[in-house]
A = this chain, B = another copy of it.
Amino acid sequence: MTRTAPETRSPGAPADTDAIRVAVSTVIFTLRRLPGSDALQVVLPLVRRTRDPHEGQWALPGGWLDVTEGLDTAASRTLAETTGLAPSYLEQLYAFGAVDRSPTRVVSIVYWALLRADEITDATVENVQWFDAAALPALAFDHNEIVGYALWRLRNKVGYSRIAHGLLADEFTLADLREVYEAILARRLDPANFRRQVENSGTLIPTDRFRTGSHRPARLYRYNQDVELADRGPLDAGH
């Protein structure tokens, strides 16, 4: 294709602008009980790189932004191409653009999503594997830093929003909800305090259904749907 002709470039634009490329990557978190562990863990899918740079290392799913597609579309497309995953909603997390994060200059727009375990097909995809977010190997590029930032945002966000909803079935017990919080925050929570806080928050609606089984029947709750799970405000209008 033809490059932008120099005379249409703003005088202030350094020629070097042309050497910067834009990529998208995605961090997909879900909760799983890993073999040999009783507790839920935050896990994410990584893709093994089959070419340089960083050939053989694990990296976040992603790819190049095409000139004909928006950022959200590129994130969904590259995620599907590399992992087969198709979350209904990806949220933009952050743009990473340090000069030395790649051998060539690449700005990566990073998206993230939370998925319930039942939303994930366990079809084996070549070169894709799920990893415990708390015990990652050395990843390609600055992807350890990116996952670290995404985890920090997840932990922050669980405190003031109903983000845990994205990891739960429509109806759940307070113990289910507490387990999600414990996995995200990576610490135990006192059951009685947790119940009190959640009940006082007004974000849950008790149903008249109970889960029965080997334990005492536990009431099922659902989230108050009046508030959006992932509210991007004006950007939801189809940006």
Residues of A within 8 A of B (CB): 1, 3-4, 8, 10-22, 51, 63-71, 92, 94-99, 104-105, 107, 109, 145, 148-149, 152-153, 156, 160, 233-235, 239
Q: Quick check: B68 and A99 within 8 Å, CB to CB?
A: yes
Q: Quick check: B104 and A17 within 8 Å, CB to CB?
A: no
Q: Quick check: B148 and A98 within 8 Å, CB to CB?
A: no
A200 to chain B, nearest CB (A): 14
| A233 and B220 alpha carbons, distance in the complex (Å) | 35
Please indicate the chain B residues that have their CB under 8 angstroms from the CB of A14 in the complex. 64, 66-67
Residue from the list B1, B12, B22, B98 in contact with A70, Cβ < 8 A: B98
Give the secondary structure class of A's interface. Answer: mixed
Q: Quick check: A22 and B19 within 8 Å, CB to CB?
A: no
A128 to chain B, nearest CB (A): 15
Please indicate the chain B residues that have their CB under 8 angstroms from the CB of A66 in the complex. 14, 16-17
| A104 and B233 alpha carbons, distance in the complex (Å) | 27
Please indicate the chain B residues that have their CB under 8 angstroms from the CB of A12 in the complex. 63-64
Please indicate the chain B residues that have their CB under 8 angstroms from the CB of A149 in the complex. 233-235
| A149 and B11 alpha carbons, distance in the complex (Å) | 29
| A97 and B22 alpha carbons, distance in the complex (Å) | 10
Residue from the list B22, B152, B235 in contact with A22, Cβ < 8 A: B22
Once A11-B51, A65-B97 are accepted as A-B contacts, the answer to whether A18 and B18 lie under 8 Å apart by CB is yes
Q: Quick check: A3 and B22 within 8 Å, CB to CB?
A: no
Please indicate the chain B residues that have their CB under 8 angstroms from the CB of A3 in the complex. 18-19
Q: Quick check: A156 and B233 within 8 Å, CB to CB?
A: yes
Q: Quick check: A65 and B107 within 8 Å, CB to CB?
A: yes
Please indicate the chain B residues that have their CB under 8 angstroms from the CB of A68 in the complex. 16, 99
Please indicate the chain B residues that have their CB under 8 angstroms from the CB of A63 in the complex. 12-13
Residue from the list B65, B148, B235 in contact with A17, Cβ < 8 A: B65
A63 to chain B, nearest CB (A): 6
Please indicate the chain B residues that have their CB under 8 angstroms from the CB of A95 in the complex. 71, 92, 95, 109
Residue from the list B11, B17, B71, B94 in contact with A21, Cβ < 8 A: B17
Residue from the list B1, B51, B235 in contact with A18, Cβ < 8 A: B1
A131 to chain B, nearest CB (A): 18
Q: Quick check: B104 and A107 within 8 Å, CB to CB?
A: no
Please indicate the chain B residues that have their CB under 8 angstroms from the CB of A107 in the complex. 22, 65, 71, 107, 109
